[in-house]
Structures are given as structure tokens and as C-alpha cells.
């Protein structure tokens, strides 16, 4: 017996929910970023799984989307972390609770 598509989707759902959990319930900005990265990874897993289990042969669209997504996630992580550092310099905190103003 080999794992079915369903199982992969379940794993990715779990991963997504854990990411959501981190993003919603932690107060530290970096944790939120971690959560978002986890959710992105879950999405990638979905892309790959659907590509793999889809009707064959087909162009490797799922794979390519995943690659793009990883690239953009990297960019997002870089900018996000830079923001964290900048904000930290300004407010001396990375706790998002205290960050609720649009102007400095």
C-alpha cells in the first residue's frame, strides 16, 4: 500500500494549521514570520502533491509554481526580517501587540 493523495493533503493541512496557530497566537514578530513560512511550505506541498497525483503526462506546472513560490517566500522572508530589525531599532520591541500605529 502506498500513501494516497489524501494523506499528503492531510499532512499539508496539518502543517498549514500549525503555521496558522503560530501566526495567530504568538506575539513575537519572528514567530509570526515562522508561521507564515510554515503555511507557505504547506501550500508548496499541496502543489507538488497535486502535480504528482494528477493525470499524467502533463507539463510540470505544479513544480514550477512551487519553485516560484519558494523564491518569493525567500524575498518575503528577507524583507520581513529586515522590517523586524528596523522596527526593533525604532521601538526597542518586536512584540506586535505594541505595534498598532501606521506612523512612526
Residues 16-45 touching other proteins, rule: CB under 8 A, are 16-28, 30-35, 37-38, 41, 44-45
Interface positions, 43-82, toward other proteins (CB under 8 A) = 44-45, 48-49, 51-53, 55-57, 59-60, 62-64, 66-68, 70-79, 81-82
DSSP state of 101: -
Contact status: 103 vs other proteins (CB under 8 A):
no
94/82 Cα distance (integer angstroms): 12
Report, in Å, the least distance between residue 76 CB and other proteins. Answer: 7
Q: Are 11 and 29 in contact (CB under 8 A)?
A: no
Amino acid at each position: 500500500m502506498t500513501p494516497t493523495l489524501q494523506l499528503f493533503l492531510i499532512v499539508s493541512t496539518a502543517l498549514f494549521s500549525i503555521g496558522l496557530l503560530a501566526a495567530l497566537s504568538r506575539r513575537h514578530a519572528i514567530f509570526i514570520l515562522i508561521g507564515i513560512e510554515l503555511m507557505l511550505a504547506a501550500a508548496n506541498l499541496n502543489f507538488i502533491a497535486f502535480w504528482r497525483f494528477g493525470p499524467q503526462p502533463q507539463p510540470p506546472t505544479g513544480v514550477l509554481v512551487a519553485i516560484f513560490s519558494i523564491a518569493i517566500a525567500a524575498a518575503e522572508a528577507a524583507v520581513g526580517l529586515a522590517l523586524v530589525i528596523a522596527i526593533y531599532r525604532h521601538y526597542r520591541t518586536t512584540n506586535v501587540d505594541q505595534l498598532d500605529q501606521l506612523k512612526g
